[in-house]
Structure 1
Amino acid sequence: MTDDIGAFVPGPRVRVEGRTGGPLQGLTFAAKDLFDVAGVPTGGGNHDWPTGRPVPSRHSWAVQTLLDAGATLIGKTITDEVSLGILGENAFDGTPVNTRAPGRVPGGSSSGSAAAVAAGLCDTALGTDTGGSVRVPASFCGLYGIRPTHGRIDVTGMLPQAPTSDTTGWFARDAETFARVSSVMLGEAIPTVLPTRLIVAVDAFGFADANVAAALQPMVKRLATLIGSSREEVMAPPGLSAWARAQRMLQPVEAYNTFKSWLDERNPRFAFSVAKALVMGSLVPPAEQAWAQLMRQEVRARVAYLLPAGTILCLPTTPFPAPLVGQALSVLDPLRDRITCLCAQGGHAGHPQVSLPGTTVDGLPVGLSIIGPRGSDATLVAVAKALEATT
């Protein structure tokens, strides 16, 4: 298959046939270049990362699971360098084309995976989500995307960044495919019983651009009708920016600790924004780290309080549609900060979150997210299926 959008890692394309007779037979998938594929170097989005490392001899758990279920792997996809990015622009491999929003970023760091699914090059694709790297490209590319309950999915063979936040996720264009893949990855059937209570996070909607909040209202109303009971709540009483500040401290510190031996031994090449994130992670004082850990505990307590069994919460996945490609760092840095304000609860609380497509702003996709109690991943997928049926 021709890659006209630059979604796949440059070089010979890998293809591995899925098992005959599995529940995903006939589907194709791609894997972000953080997942090991036997016999293929794991590039990590940085041309210095594979140097001196053995080529994997086994598939990652996520790749093997999809192959065993019958899906066929058709390639490895571009990622932001070592997953340290949220917009999808890679200085080494380029920016995959967002066919749903031409001239705009696909979102990162699972940029190639989202772009490939949006363009119809494969049915589903594996991504990772630490600070929003499945949820954001799902929103920008008009896809279904899931950040599962933290710790639920086996991450063996997945290049880590910040382990207390890292998860494996996946994308699909339609709810039926999303449900089929999710059932396999989660290891359970998608239920038919839906939640009975919906919370609308008013602070998150107020934080999003006004036209985004307005565009999502019809979806919120359909969701409220589907669930049958809804109320408004403030999600983050200390402020969304306080939650984001804590995530911006903890995640880079962990990332620096993950890569510091490599940095010391190899002095690798990076784009400035990636190098800056690692440097900042090395400089966060212990007192600030302690504050951020306390804030993480507050976030976990608040989200758990809001989401007892049978309850889900909705919010805009991103505060705006995909930004233009190639903008100056001085323009992009504030946008990254705003994105983190709506995504930080994922890394902090570890609850499952699904981004739902279904609306646009000036022709550009934006997603509506639903969050549930820990372990309710399959229920969120069921809501996604039921909501698509109402359109």
Structure 2
Amino acid sequence: MTNYAMKNLEKLSVSTIPPYDPLQSFVRDNHIAIKGLKGKRLSNYVFGAKDVFKIKGTTWGNGHPDWLRYSQPDDFTASAILTLLDAGADLVGKTICDELCYSISGENWHYGSPLNPTDTRRLTGGSSSGSCSATAGGLVDFAIGSDCLGSVRVPASYNGIIGLRPSYERIQNDGEAPYCKSMDVLGFVASEKEVFQDVASVLLNEDPEKGTFTKLYVVDDAFEAVDSNVQEAFNAVIDKIGTKLGTIEHIKIAEEGLEYWVKEVFQIVQGYEIWESYGGFVNKYRPRLSPGPKDRLEKASTISRERYLEAKKKKEEFRQRVEHLLSDGAVLITPTASSVAPLKSASLKEIDRLRTQSSHLLCISPLADIPQLTLPLLEQDGVPLGVTLMSAKNTDRTLIDFGLQFMD
């Protein structure tokens, strides 16, 4: 832990007014808090929910004040939030996210950027920035967010907490902001493995088939996408996890190169579907957008349906390839992100370089529909570096049970 940490803060409780928030993690304009049922499995826990989920009678902001301004009070509550409340957890507030969720930096020009409790000089990561900041700092026991290209995984890694991007459609995410319908999922984070396991037992049903893992695949082309110091940091943890399984093999998951799958498939599918979700809002209200989301939305608006459908076919090819690769009980290991959390003082050029590198790692699970668990098993100079484990679709609970044993 660095001298710039803000950890172990006092846990929040349900209040009708916005909470005391030294990490700048929570929204204030549309605050809502709800008590969970008593005497249930999660009754001692409090949680935050990314400001992209509907809660009956309230509005949601999606990281942009114009979205909040023009939204109407919701007529139902997202299923996942109802499930958590019924399981006893108290919702203490909605958490800030990146602008329209179209970023992984953790910065928001409009509301301010949640702080990284492990080192406040560094970026928090996003777009589920507030959820991960509040969890890492101790304001909540756990939080939920959404994840397409790393929006739960990146801030979990940067903030040194446990995070899951589940198998596609494994957790019901009705009542979530429209975004990228074929790859966006509801994920969750926690600092403590016992809390994470409890939340998993509530949000995830048992795996359809109880399998076992047999080998560890080191995804060499993912490690080639990161700097050498990150590669070196992984040697010991690869040996530790591989020894548990008995077999370690090195593979390439994308002979064409992961950059190809990001540019020619992921970004095409994501961009087209995001423009389907946001194009009407952008054209009607002309919201003021910060440079990153603005540039990405402009590019998204130019993607043809023909190109989108071709990219969808390629996505299915990749999904089938990975399904076959993992069919014999293999687990994939990669870094979660390409580096530790960058300093806020880093140049835009450096931030863009790290974002591009990270995209090569982050595209695998959404393209393949598989679960991805990120674990805070490593540090560099006192700053967290997340370790990713991935397994076959709908082996989420098995993956969690396997991965959490290394948190001891």
Superposition TM-score, scaled by structure 2 size: 0.91
The SS at the match of 2:71 is: coil
Q: What are the within-5 Å matches in structure 2 for residues 21-40 of structure 1?
A: 21-40=39-58
Distance 2:344 2:154 in 1: 15
The SS at the match of 1:220 is: helix
Contact in 2 for aligned 1:194/1:383 (Cα 8 Å): no
Question: In the alignment, residue 55 of structure 2 is paired with which amino acid?
Answer: V
User: After alignment, is 332-341 or 122-131 more displaced?
Assistant: 332-341
Distance 1:318 1:372 in 2: 18
Distance 1:193 1:302 in 2: 20
Are residues 1:154 and 2:154 paired?
no
Q: What are the within-5 Å matches in structure 2 for residues 245-284 of structure 1?
A: 245=263, 246-284=265-303
Displacement after TM superposition at 1:329 (Å): 3.7
Displacement after TM superposition at 1:302 (Å): 2.2
Out of 34, 40, 47, the position equivalent to 1:16 is 34
Question: In the alignment, residue 212 of structure 1 is paired with which amino acid?
Answer: V
User: After alignment, is 4-13 or 184-193 more displaced?
Assistant: 184-193
Alignment correspondent of 1:129:
147
Alignment correspondent of 1:181:
199
The SS at the match of 1:207 is: coil
Superposition TM-score, scaled by structure 1 size: 0.94
The SS at the match of 1:56 is: coil
Alignment correspondent of 1:237:
255
Displacement after TM superposition at 1:286 (Å): 5.0
Instruction: Label 1:252 to 1:192 Cα distance change in 2 as closer, same or farther (>3 A).
Output: closer
Contact in 1 for aligned 2:207/2:398 (Cα 8 Å): no
Question: In the alignment, residue 379 of structure 1 is paired with which amino acid?
Answer: T
Alignment correspondent of 1:223:
241
The SS at the match of 1:105 is: coil
- How many residues are treated as equivalent by the alignment? 389
Instruction: Label 1:357 to 1:192 Cα distance change in 2 as closer, same or farther (>3 A).
Output: farther
Alignment correspondent of 2:84:
66
The SS at the match of 2:143 is: strand
Contact in 2 for aligned 1:190/1:379 (Cα 8 Å): no
User: After alignment, is 261-270 or 189-198 more displaced?
Assistant: 189-198
Question: In the alignment, residue 293 of structure 1 is paired with which amino acid?
Answer: K
Contact in 1 for aligned 2:124/2:133 (Cα 8 Å): yes
Out of 103, 107, 124, the position equivalent to 1:89 is 107
Alignment correspondent of 1:387:
406
Alignment correspondent of 1:163:
181
The SS at the match of 2:67 is: coil
User: After alignment, is 308-317 or 168-177 more displaced?
Assistant: 308-317
Out of 77, 82, 85, the position equivalent to 2:95 is 77
Out of 224, 227, 232, the position equivalent to 1:214 is 232
Out of 124, 132, 139, the position equivalent to 2:157 is 139
Displacement after TM superposition at 1:224 (Å): 1.0
Distance 1:318 1:105 in 2: 13
Contact in 1 for aligned 2:54/2:78 (Cα 8 Å): yes
Distance 2:70 2:58 in 1: 14
Question: In the alignment, residue 388 of structure 2 is paired with which amino acid?
Answer: S
Are residues 1:292 and 2:339 paired?
no
Structure 1 unaligned residues grouped into runs of 5+: none
The root-mean-square deviation of aligned C-alpha atoms, in Å, is 1.9
Displacement after TM superposition at 1:160 (Å): 2.0
Distance 1:285 1:12 in 2: 36
The SS at the match of 1:50 is: helix
Out of 96, 99, 103, the position equivalent to 2:117 is 99
CA displacement 1:281-306 (0-9 Å, x = unmatched)? 01124564355334323321221121
Question: In the alignment, residue 293 of structure 2 is paired with which amino acid?
Answer: V
Instruction: Label 1:204 to 1:89 Cα distance change in 2 as closer, same or farther (>3 A).
Output: same
Instruction: Label 1:380 to 1:230 Cα distance change in 2 as closer, same or farther (>3 A).
Output: same
Q: What are the within-5 Å matches in structure 2 for residues 325-344 of structure 1?
A: 325=344, 327-344=346-363
Taking only the aligned residue pairs, the percentage that are identical comes to: 34
Alignment correspondent of 1:53:
71
Alignment correspondent of 1:347:
366
Distance 2:202 2:133 in 1: 22
